[in-house]
Amino acid sequence: MTASPNTVPARPLRLRALVGALAAGLAAGGALVAACSSDSSSTGTTTTTTTTTTSSTTQTGGAGGTTTSSTTTSSGGSAQGGAGGTGGAGAAWPTCDTQPGTAQALTIPEIWQADPATPTEVWVNDAIVTAVSRDGCVPGQACQIFLQADSTYASLAAGAHHGIKLFVSGPTAQYFTGVQVDDVVDVLAHAWRFNLDTQNELLLQVNSQLRGCAKTVGNLAAQPITGVTLAELTVQAYEQDIGPLLIQVDTVSGTPGLPLETFGLWETGQFNDAGISEVVSLSPFFLPNAVFTGLGNGQIAFASVTGVFGLFVPPPAGPKFKEIYPRSMADVVQ
């Protein structure tokens, strides 16, 4: 349906129900958490359970043992995977003071170009932190860190393949607790395209077998790419064409639910009653405590929303949900 640009369109029942189902099914952690939250070489399970009424997900994880997490609802998910890697249990944990001889020095665009099919040890200099899940890694909880090569880009096309996600397992998150948004970091991790089941994301991974670290070497505030529309935020853009970048969308509307819930967005005045897999949602998972604050009730017309573009892919086979992850409530302008 189309409404006047000066009005907020009524939310069709179909989308309201679909977005409610999405919110109830999204567990904290973002796509691929299981790949980072278990720690052995090839077997074991990771379970993510929501406390809402509709969703409980279980999936095999990457590195042995069983990890279970419960949450109300914020965007998140998990996936099969996690191949074993280098590093013995008795070796000292890396500190990122210097590049180890076993790691190949690559830029983020070079990692995209290489697109390794199996975990490959890499060293990345001077990456800018654009978002950290829950506003900071917590020991014992899987953590996600978004990185960019440069502080900003003129367009999505200009920033293509300059962003990547770093997944850190719960048992190794203790080594990343100091990483903050706008840090410039040197990173040791294992790069590969996580392509089990329906997953298809190029990422950096750290767990007890795939060892890694991040050391802050400076500070630089990243600026979002402006002029981005919701229609440009597609699965193809995230997985293949563009990757995760800090973006800003203007003049969008949504109806917040509980503080822990994601909610769908639409261009203000131009709502399209699409299926939930076509909707771009706003997620609180990278905010402090993974909750929205100060949004109130009812439909809201936002002047702008800033955050990192990402995906949530519930196991075992999706669908793939498109997310914007603000880092503070200052990113959500009413």
Structure confidence by residue, pLDDT tens digits, 191-235 = 999 988 888 999 999 999 999 999 999 999 999 999 999 999 999
CA-only gyration radius of the chain, Å: 19
Give this prediction's pTM: 0.78
Of residues 103 and 68, the one with the higher pLDDT is: 103
- The pLDDT-based confidence of 276 (bands split at 50, 70, 90) is low
Question: Among 87, 86, 33, which residue's Cα sits nearest to residue 60?
Answer: 33
- The pLDDT-based confidence of 83 (bands split at 50, 70, 90) is very low
- What pLDDT is recorded for position 321? 94
- What pLDDT is recorded for position 47? 31
User: Are 32 and 167 a contacting pair, CB within 8 Å?
Assistant: yes
Q: What is the 3-state secondary structure (H, E, C) of 273-311?
A: CCCHHHCEEECCCCCHHHCCCCCCCCCEEEEEEEEEEEE
- What pLDDT is recorded for position 122? 98
Question: In the chain, what are the domain boundaries?
Answer: 104-219, 223-333
Is the pLDDT at 89 greater than 90, yes or no?
A: no
Of residues 203 and 46, the one with the higher pLDDT is: 203
3 state SS of 25: helix
Nearest-angstrom CA–CA distance, 228 and 153: 12
Side chain identity at residue 13, one-letter code: L
- What pLDDT is recorded for position 255? 94
Superfamily of domain 104-219: Nucleic acid-binding proteins (2.40.50.140)
Is the pLDDT at 84 greater than 60, yes or no?
A: no
- What pLDDT is recorded for position 90? 62
Q: Which positions ≥6 away from 165 have C-beta within 8 Å?
A: 144, 145, 146, 147, 201, 203, 204, 244, 310
Is the pLDDT at 38 greater than 80, yes or no?
A: no
Largest CA-CA distance found in the chain, in angstroms, rounded: 65
Of 8-12, 166-170, 189-193, 322-326, the one with minimum mean pLDDT is 8-12
Residues 167-196: tens digit of each pLDDT: 999 999 999 999 999 999 999 999 999 988
